[in-house]
Structure 1
Protein backbone atom coordinates (compact mmCIF):
# COMPACT_ATOMS: atom_id res chain seq x y z
CA UNK A 1 0.00 0.00 0.00
CA UNK A 2 1.19 3.49 -0.72
CA UNK A 3 1.96 5.85 2.07
CA UNK A 4 -1.00 8.14 2.64
CA UNK A 5 -0.62 11.90 2.79
CA UNK A 6 -0.85 13.52 6.23
CA UNK A 7 -3.33 16.30 5.41
CA UNK A 8 -7.10 15.91 5.74
CA UNK A 9 -7.98 17.44 2.37
CA UNK A 10 -5.96 14.94 0.32
CA UNK A 11 -7.15 12.05 2.49
CA UNK A 12 -10.76 13.01 1.70
CA UNK A 13 -9.98 13.19 -2.02
CA UNK A 14 -8.46 9.70 -1.88
CA UNK A 15 -11.46 8.42 0.07
CA UNK A 16 -13.87 9.89 -2.52
CA UNK A 17 -11.88 8.34 -5.36
CA UNK A 18 -11.87 4.93 -3.67
CA UNK A 19 -15.60 5.20 -2.98
CA UNK A 20 -16.26 5.89 -6.68
CA UNK A 21 -14.06 2.96 -7.70
CA UNK A 22 -15.87 0.63 -5.30
CA UNK A 23 -19.25 1.80 -6.64
CA UNK A 24 -18.09 1.08 -10.19
CA UNK A 25 -16.93 -2.42 -9.25
CA UNK A 26 -20.22 -3.11 -7.42
CA UNK A 27 -22.17 -1.99 -10.51
CA UNK A 28 -20.14 -4.34 -12.74
CA UNK A 29 -20.70 -7.24 -10.33
CA UNK A 30 -24.45 -6.54 -10.30
CA UNK A 31 -24.48 -6.42 -14.10
CA UNK A 32 -22.59 -9.72 -14.34
CA UNK A 33 -25.00 -11.39 -11.90
CA UNK A 34 -28.08 -10.36 -13.89
CA UNK A 35 -29.56 -13.13 -16.00
CA UNK A 36 -28.88 -13.04 -19.71
CA UNK A 37 -31.62 -11.56 -21.90
CA UNK A 38 -34.84 -13.47 -21.38
CA UNK A 39 -36.62 -14.95 -24.37
CA UNK A 40 -39.59 -12.96 -25.56
CA UNK A 41 -42.87 -14.31 -24.24
CA UNK A 42 -45.15 -12.27 -26.49
CA UNK A 43 -44.36 -14.45 -29.52
CA UNK A 44 -46.63 -17.23 -30.68
CA UNK A 45 -45.27 -20.74 -30.02
CA UNK A 46 -44.28 -21.07 -33.68
CA UNK A 47 -42.73 -17.88 -35.03
CA UNK A 48 -39.96 -17.53 -37.57
CA UNK A 49 -37.44 -15.05 -38.96
CA UNK A 50 -35.99 -14.69 -42.44
CA UNK A 51 -32.39 -13.50 -42.42
CA UNK A 52 -30.77 -12.03 -45.53
CA UNK A 53 -27.12 -12.98 -46.07
CA UNK A 54 -25.54 -10.57 -48.58
CA UNK A 55 -23.36 -11.93 -51.37
CA UNK A 56 -19.86 -10.46 -50.88
CA UNK A 57 -19.26 -10.51 -54.64
CA UNK A 58 -22.51 -8.66 -55.36
CA UNK A 59 -25.81 -10.11 -56.44
CA UNK A 60 -28.90 -11.05 -54.50
CA UNK A 61 -27.33 -13.08 -51.72
CA UNK A 62 -29.26 -15.79 -49.93
CA UNK A 63 -31.73 -16.24 -47.12
CA UNK A 64 -31.73 -18.32 -43.95
CA UNK A 65 -34.92 -19.12 -42.04
CA UNK A 66 -34.74 -19.35 -38.22
CA UNK A 67 -37.15 -20.07 -35.41
CA UNK A 68 -37.82 -16.81 -33.59
CA UNK A 69 -35.97 -17.97 -30.48
CA UNK A 70 -32.91 -19.23 -32.38
CA UNK A 71 -29.60 -18.17 -30.87
CA UNK A 72 -28.46 -16.97 -34.32
CA UNK A 73 -29.42 -13.31 -34.49
CA UNK A 74 -30.87 -11.37 -37.38
CA UNK A 75 -33.79 -11.35 -39.75
CA UNK A 76 -37.35 -10.13 -39.86
CA UNK A 77 -40.45 -11.88 -38.58
CA UNK A 78 -42.44 -14.02 -40.98
CA UNK A 79 -45.57 -16.11 -40.57
CA UNK A 80 -46.09 -19.79 -41.41
CA UNK A 81 -47.29 -19.10 -44.96
CA UNK A 82 -44.22 -16.96 -45.68
CA UNK A 83 -42.01 -19.64 -44.11
CA UNK A 84 -43.43 -22.38 -46.32
CA UNK A 85 -43.03 -20.19 -49.40
CA UNK A 86 -39.47 -19.17 -48.49
CA UNK A 87 -38.37 -22.78 -48.01
CA UNK A 88 -39.41 -23.58 -51.61
CA UNK A 89 -36.91 -21.03 -52.97
CA UNK A 90 -33.49 -22.40 -53.96
CA UNK A 91 -31.61 -19.46 -52.42
CA UNK A 92 -33.25 -19.91 -48.99
CA UNK A 93 -32.10 -22.55 -46.52
CA UNK A 94 -33.25 -23.62 -43.07
CA UNK A 95 -30.99 -22.84 -40.13
CA UNK A 96 -28.87 -25.80 -39.07
CA UNK A 97 -29.05 -24.71 -35.42
CA UNK A 98 -32.79 -24.36 -34.79
CA UNK A 99 -34.24 -26.39 -37.73
CA UNK A 100 -37.35 -24.29 -38.40
CA UNK A 101 -38.63 -26.78 -41.00
CA UNK A 102 -39.26 -29.46 -38.37
CA UNK A 103 -42.87 -29.88 -37.42
CA UNK A 104 -44.27 -28.28 -40.58
CA UNK A 105 -45.66 -31.54 -41.93
CA UNK A 106 -49.45 -31.68 -41.48
Structure 2
Protein backbone atom coordinates (compact mmCIF):
# COMPACT_ATOMS: atom_id res chain seq x y z
CA UNK A 1 0.00 0.00 0.00
CA UNK A 2 2.57 2.68 1.02
CA UNK A 3 5.38 1.53 -1.24
CA UNK A 4 6.92 5.01 -1.46
CA UNK A 5 8.21 4.82 2.15
CA UNK A 6 11.73 3.59 2.85
CA UNK A 7 12.00 -0.13 3.60
CA UNK A 8 14.29 0.04 6.64
CA UNK A 9 13.30 0.73 10.25
CA UNK A 10 15.92 3.45 10.90
CA UNK A 11 14.70 5.74 8.13
CA UNK A 12 11.06 5.10 9.02
CA UNK A 13 11.74 6.14 12.63
CA UNK A 14 13.51 9.29 11.43
CA UNK A 15 10.50 10.16 9.26
CA UNK A 16 8.12 9.51 12.14
CA UNK A 17 10.17 11.71 14.49
CA UNK A 18 10.38 14.46 11.87
CA UNK A 19 6.64 14.45 11.28
CA UNK A 20 5.88 14.26 15.01
CA UNK A 21 7.98 17.42 15.49
CA UNK A 22 6.01 19.16 12.73
CA UNK A 23 2.67 18.07 14.18
CA UNK A 24 3.78 19.48 17.56
CA UNK A 25 4.72 22.80 15.92
CA UNK A 26 1.40 22.94 14.08
CA UNK A 27 -0.52 22.15 17.28
CA UNK A 28 1.32 24.94 19.12
CA UNK A 29 0.52 27.42 16.35
CA UNK A 30 -3.15 26.36 16.41
CA UNK A 31 -3.20 26.93 20.18
CA UNK A 32 -1.70 30.44 19.82
CA UNK A 33 -4.09 31.42 17.02
CA UNK A 34 -7.11 30.19 18.99
CA UNK A 35 -5.90 32.09 22.05
CA UNK A 36 -5.53 35.30 20.00
CA UNK A 37 -9.02 34.84 18.53
CA UNK A 38 -10.47 34.30 22.00
CA UNK A 39 -8.80 37.50 23.24
CA UNK A 40 -10.18 39.47 20.26
CA UNK A 41 -13.67 38.09 20.87
CA UNK A 42 -13.49 38.95 24.58
CA UNK A 43 -12.29 42.47 23.80
CA UNK A 44 -15.08 42.94 21.24
CA UNK A 45 -17.68 41.64 23.70
CA UNK A 46 -16.39 43.96 26.43
CA UNK A 47 -16.48 46.94 24.05
CA UNK A 48 -20.00 46.07 22.94
CA UNK A 49 -21.34 45.87 26.49
CA UNK A 50 -19.62 49.04 27.71
CA UNK A 51 -21.90 52.07 27.43
CA UNK A 52 -20.51 54.92 25.34
CA UNK A 53 -19.53 58.10 27.14
CA UNK A 54 -21.77 60.34 25.00
CA UNK A 55 -24.80 59.85 22.76
CA UNK A 56 -26.16 61.79 19.82
CA UNK A 57 -29.92 61.43 19.45
CA UNK A 58 -31.35 61.59 15.94
CA UNK A 59 -34.83 62.33 14.61
CA UNK A 60 -37.18 60.07 12.66
CA UNK A 61 -35.82 60.90 9.22
CA UNK A 62 -32.93 58.62 8.21
CA UNK A 63 -31.02 61.67 6.95
CA UNK A 64 -31.82 63.68 10.07
CA UNK A 65 -29.23 65.75 11.86
CA UNK A 66 -28.63 65.15 15.57
CA UNK A 67 -31.35 66.57 17.82
CA UNK A 68 -29.72 66.27 21.23
CA UNK A 69 -26.53 65.30 23.05
CA UNK A 70 -26.85 62.96 26.04
CA UNK A 71 -24.54 61.36 28.54
CA UNK A 72 -23.88 57.68 27.80
CA UNK A 73 -26.11 56.49 30.64
CA UNK A 74 -28.88 59.08 30.30
CA UNK A 75 -32.34 57.63 30.86
CA UNK A 76 -33.92 60.28 28.62
CA UNK A 77 -32.02 59.24 25.48
CA UNK A 78 -34.34 57.82 22.84
CA UNK A 79 -33.90 54.73 20.71
CA UNK A 80 -32.28 56.50 17.76
CA UNK A 81 -28.90 57.23 19.32
CA UNK A 82 -25.30 56.75 18.33
CA UNK A 83 -22.37 56.54 20.74
CA UNK A 84 -19.70 59.20 20.17
CA UNK A 85 -16.51 60.43 21.78
CA UNK A 86 -16.22 63.66 23.75
CA UNK A 87 -14.77 65.66 20.84
CA UNK A 88 -17.70 64.76 18.59
CA UNK A 89 -20.16 65.64 21.37
CA UNK A 90 -18.46 69.03 21.87
CA UNK A 91 -18.56 69.74 18.13
CA UNK A 92 -22.27 68.88 18.06
CA UNK A 93 -22.95 71.25 20.96
CA UNK A 94 -20.91 73.97 19.26
CA UNK A 95 -22.89 73.35 16.07
CA UNK A 96 -26.18 74.13 17.80
CA UNK A 97 -27.36 70.67 18.86
CA UNK A 98 -29.27 70.92 22.12
CA UNK A 99 -27.89 69.47 25.34
CA UNK A 100 -30.16 67.17 27.34
CA UNK A 101 -31.68 69.09 30.25
CA UNK A 102 -31.61 65.99 32.48
CA UNK A 103 -28.01 64.76 32.24
CA UNK A 104 -26.47 68.16 31.31
CA UNK A 105 -23.66 66.96 29.00
CA UNK A 106 -22.72 70.55 28.22
CA UNK A 107 -21.59 71.18 31.79
CA UNK A 108 -19.76 67.86 32.03
CA UNK A 109 -17.96 68.55 28.75
CA UNK A 110 -17.01 72.03 29.92
CA UNK A 111 -18.91 73.59 27.03
CA UNK A 112 -19.83 77.23 27.58
CA UNK A 113 -21.68 79.21 24.92
Q: Would you tell me which structure has more helix in proportion to its own residues?
A: 2
TM superposition score normalised by structure 2: 0.44
TM superposition score normalised by structure 1: 0.46
Larger radius of gyration: 2
